[in-house]
Structure 1
Amino acid sequence: MSTQAKKPFTFTGWHMLAIMLAFFGTIITVNFTMAYLATSTWSGLVVKNTYVASQQFNGKTAAIRDMLATGIAGDLQVDGKGMRYRLTLPENTPVVADAVTAHFKRPVGTAQDFELQLTPAGDGLYLADKAILPGSWIVEMQATKDGKMIMHEAKRIAVSGE
């Protein structure tokens, strides 16, 4: 039988170095991961030039006020197969437009954004047959007649995966 005394643990500089590298390595790794995810998912841009947008604000506000005074309303229906958009006046009178455009934008990111030109189907109804990916979308609708914007609205929608 040997009766060797067990050597007690001694905390050395190498142990401290390993602890510091693990601690700061974790912090640095998390920071770089978060910075990469933040810059790769959303551009952060709402307008390209804020100065120009601020100069156009009053004109756009007046145009929207004039558009709302006409009473034109839009009814948007979107599913995975396509979309329907109906333009009407207050007494359910159909509105005929020269062009109706839908801009689909993801709330975060620009990689899947696209634009659709809707086809008139009569009686103020406009259609587009395009598969719409499921998820959240911001749909900006624009209708023009004789070169003038008669309807401009944006709606946030959710398309189901069914």
Structure 2
Amino acid sequence: MSATTPAGVKPGFRFTGWHMLAGVVTFFAVVIAVDVLFTVLALRTFPGQVSVTPYEDGLLYNQRIAQQRAQAALGWRAAATANAGVVTLTVQDAAGSPIRGLDIAARLERPATEAGRLTPKFIETAPGRYEAATGRIAGAWDLTAEASDTAGRRFVAERRLTWP
């Protein structure tokens, strides 16, 4: 048997080392290109920064836990509703009685961004019922309300509100 081909017949495809090298290089080039694409897309949509002051936030963690325990012992409850142009906050004590005379500092912000943050001013319109004008807003907003009374007791309520 000879390794030569008869005259007029083309030799078939031969897989050589160069073909193998080209296949491996192509495979890894595609994998690297996809990884780079996904990394670029991920960094464009979320840069990784959750807080501007992460170290300080970590130091304040124990204070936040202590404040939440004190708030739970206080037994106050809050409910918030979104109406056209107004947000209403109702605050009750552990017995269900309305709490009067609270000083409420609040902020409304979008769930996904800090753009368009509002600081509504709450006014007591009935015992334990506080209202603030929001203007013409629509969509989902996160309300963070910090209420304090004359005795220095502090209550923080966070609610997601939705306007049509």
Q: TM-score range by the shorter chain?
A: 0.5 to 0.7
Please give the alpha-carbon distance, in whole angstroms, between the structure 2 residues aligned to 1:34 and 1:76.
37
Q: Aligned ranges for residues 67-82 of structure 1 at < 5 Å?
A: 67-82=71-86
Q: Which runs of 5+ in 1 are unaligned?
A: 1-26
Aligned equivalents of 2:62, 2:42: Cα separation in 1: 37
Distance 1:134 1:114 in 2: 13
Larger % of strand: which? 1
2:111 counterpart residue number: 107
One-letter amino acid matched to 1:86: T
SS in 1 for 2:120: strand
* Aligned equivalent of 2:64: 60
User: Highest CA radius of gyration, 1 or 2?
Assistant: 2
Q: Deviations over 1:104-141 (max 9, x none)?
A: 11111222111112011231111112324111111111
1:129 to 133, 137, 144: 133
Q: What is the rounded CA distance, in whole Å, between the counterparts of 2:145 and 2:106 in structure 1?
A: 5
Higher relative contact order (CA 8 A, sep 6+): 1
Specify the alignment match of 2:97 in structure 1: 93
Question: Aligned partners of 2:153 and 2:95: how far apart in 1?
Answer: 21
Distance apart, 1:156 and its partner CA: 1.7
Of 145, 158, 161, 1:154 maps to 158
Offset at 1:34?
A: 5.5
Confirm or deny: 8 A CA contact 1:97 1:143 kept in the other structure. Answer: no
Gaps of 5+ in 2: 1-33
The alignment partner of 1:68 has SS state of helix
Alignment identity in percent?
16
Equivalents in 1 of 2:42, 2:141: separation in Å?
A: 25
Q: Indicate yes or no: 2:42 matched with 1:38.
A: no
One-letter amino acid of the structure 1 residue matched with residue 97 of structure 2: T
Deviation at 1:89, TM superposition (A): 1.2
RMSD over aligned Cα atoms? 2.7
Distance of 2:116 and 2:57 partners within structure 1: 24
